[in-house]
Amino acid sequence: MGSASRAALAAARGELSPVLGAGVGAELLGAAAELDRTPALLKALGDASASAAAKGQLVDRVFASVSGGARGVLRAAAAGTWSDSGEFVEGIEELGIRAEANASSSLSDELLAAASVVESSHELELKLGDKLGDPAAKVALATRLFGGKLSAAALGIVTHLVANPRGRRVNAALRAAADVAADQGGNALATVTVAAPLAPAQQERLAVLLEQSAGRPVRITTVLDPELVGGVRVQLGDNVIDGSVRARLEDLRLRLAG
């Protein structure tokens, strides 16, 4: 996300509050979907030459059916200057996820669990991520799969991402949403991939090191991958530390090939 978009998003986040009320997150996700499928509206609200007051009036008119809290967040977002229209939609979506996270401390864990289920089945990943597939059919599939297993907030985010992929793989979108939800709760997420389970002492040491690196609490998800052979691969945000045997062998292969 560009620097202008990051500044606009930070300003709009100031409108988020745990007292906004239930449903605001879902309303913001719905607004993001509406903007994405309505280019004229997206262009009008993203017009840097238009006044904040004029765009605020447009928000109130188009989104009259949503709560005052959601409209307040949308007005704040529209008042900012975004690097491009795609990042404006991305920002509204992130605000929706953050609003849901304000009301659910377990949201990031649920989204990670959903991502793991999708990743466990290549067929499922293809069906949910089919760019040419009917969005309603994909939402129905996700609802059958996760209904009753996830909270309403988590299920709402899953179905939103399935219906509105915007070029993203569904499992990657779910993990990115989990990162946002964790960040809203003051935590960072780390995915630790190992060939065999870590001993308790190793887990504790790794947690300490990751928290020192991140500068805040870190929630660790462990993934077993026997193909690593040995070692560990850690992803913390956009940073990847790959100390696995597989990575070292691949590096050696590339050096020999060069």
DSSP string, 170-187: HHHHHHHHHHHHHHHTT-
Query: Do 81 and 8 share a domain, yes or no?
Result: yes
Q: How far apart are CA 172 and CA 178, in angstroms?
A: 10
Are both 64 and 76 inside the same structural domain? yes
For 51-84, what is each residue's pLDDT tens digit?
999 999 999 999 999 999 999 999 999 999 999 9
> What's the DSSP call for residue 219?
E
Q: 170 and 113, same structural domain?
A: yes
Mark whether 63 and 78 lie in a shared domain. Answer: yes
Residue 251 has a pLDDT of: 65
Radius of gyration of the chain (CA): 20
Q: Which of 20-24, 31-35, 88-92, 114-118 has the lowest mean pLDDT?
A: 20-24
- Domain match, 19 and 79 both: yes
What would the two tokens of residue 135 be? Answer: 């969005």
- Cα separation, 5 vs 20, whole angstroms: 23
Domain count of the chain?
A: 3
Q: Among candidates 29, 24, 21, which has minimal Cα distance to 91?
A: 29
Question: Could you tell me if 158 and 203 lie in one domain?
Answer: no
pLDDT tens across 99-131, in order?
999 988 889 999 999 998 998 889 999 999 888
Q: Could you tell me the pTM of the whole model?
A: 0.84
Closest-CA residue to 151 (of 27, 34, 26)? 26
Give the residue numbers spanning the domain of 234: 188-257
Last residue of a domain, one of 69, 102, 135: 102
Task: Name beta bridge partners: 240.
Answer: 235
d(CA 91, CA 87): 6
Is residue 64 domain-shared with residue 88, that is, in the same domain? yes
Q: Is the dihedral of CA 53, 55, 61, 65 positive or negative?
A: negative
Beta strands 188-194 and 239-242, pairing class: unpaired
Same domain, 80 and 141: no
